[in-house]
Structure 1
Amino acid sequence: MIAGGCRCGAVRYTIAGDDLPLSYACHCHVCQRWTGSAFSQSVIVAEGTLTVDGPLVVYDQVTEDRVSTQRVCATCHARIYNTNTRRPGCAVVRAGTLDRSEELACVAHIFTAYRQRWVAIPEGVPNWPEAPDFEVFGRVLAGQTALR
């Protein structure tokens, strides 16, 4: 099991599996504003593998093409994960909430057109200036190196 939680400890979760998922960095302005930083780092897991205990505040962020359902700790307001109507069955977990986040491999960068100019994308790491093709992106996050 992979474990994680919020900063105050009120919310804890587990992800079924033994290996840490591969992570990615999103450099869009929405993620920059969400984190108050240069990017957000996340992992995508099957929603059914995620078990959450503790008080969550759940709300929908509605845009013209999707609904992103956000889950944050009701006590400390740390963002834990979200789901999205464009990708049913997937949960986007905030990488920094994982207990072993320092062990994560960041294997892709998206929305790099909006990245802070001091952020250098490592050579050879797949990256997209805007939203990636989800099928190709999914292969990268699954550890399949080919971007064909």
Structure 2
Amino acid sequence: MDAQCACGSLKVDLPDDITPAVVACHCTACQRRTGSPFGVGAYYLLAALTITGNATSWTRETDSGGAFTTYFCPTCGSTVYWTTGNHPEAAGIAVGAIADPHFPGPVRSVWEETRHEWVEIPTALHHFPRGRS
């Protein structure tokens, strides 16, 4: 299984033997990053991933003062993955870049205080008004 950008030049090979933590985030930064009312990421240890192709990165400061770095294709602009200063050993993979309709749904829903009122994440077992503590 892999994740890739729209043009296919940036790819992440995902391990088949690891079940990732899948999180839906409703923060305004994820809304703007995705152009959608929320972002969904599958989290893996970086050591378990193989990333090929060139990526352009952009880092923003989080509300807690940490760093959130998004990696996207310099050709087509698709966001494929990201890293955070709080968990430098892990990467979030954009579930849309995986493009598998059978991929597991989110188990957590965060930043629900900025969730669009018509959005519901029925697979989420845990809901947080802001980020997870």
For Structure 1 versus Structure 2, the TM-score category normalised by the shorter chain is 0.7 to 0.9
Q: SS of the counterpart of 2:108?
A: strand
1:22 positional shift: 3.8
Where do residues 118-137 of structure 1 align in structure 2 (5 Å cutoff)? 118-122=118-122, 125-133=125-133
Q: 1:96 to 1:7 in 2, by over 3 A?
A: same
Which of 103-112 and 115-124 deviates more? 115-124
Contact 1:58-1:71 within 8 A present in 2 as well? yes
1:37 matched to which residue of 2?
36
Unpaired runs of 5+ residues, structure 2, are none
- Identify, as 1 or 2, the structure richer in helix: 1
1:91 counterpart = 2:95: no
1:5 counterpart = 2:33: no
In 2, distance between residues paired with 1:62 and 1:120? 27
Report the aligned-residue RMSD.
2.0
Contact 2:43-2:91 within 8 A present in 1 as well? yes
1:47 counterpart = 2:46: yes
Instruction: Tell me which structure has the larger Cα radius of gyration.
Output: 1
Q: SS of the counterpart of 1:44?
A: strand
Give the TM-score normalised by structure 2: 0.87
Contact 1:22-1:105 within 8 A present in 2 as well? no
In 2, distance between residues paired with 1:12 and 1:44? 16
Q: What's the CA shift string for 1:39-67, capped at 9, x where partnerless?
A: 00101110111111112112322457112
1:14 matched to which residue of 2?
13
2:100 matched to which residue of 1?
100
**One-letter identity of the residue aligned with 1:117:** E
Q: 1:41 to 1:123 in 2, by over 3 A?
A: closer
Give the TM-score normalised by structure 1: 0.79
**Greater RCO structure (CA 8 Å; 6+ sep):** 2
- How many residues are matched? 132
Unpaired runs of 5+ residues, structure 1, are 134-148
Q: 1:123 to 1:93 in 2, by over 3 A?
A: closer
Q: 1:90 to 1:74 in 2, by over 3 A?
A: same
In 1, distance between residues paired with 2:106 and 2:69? 24
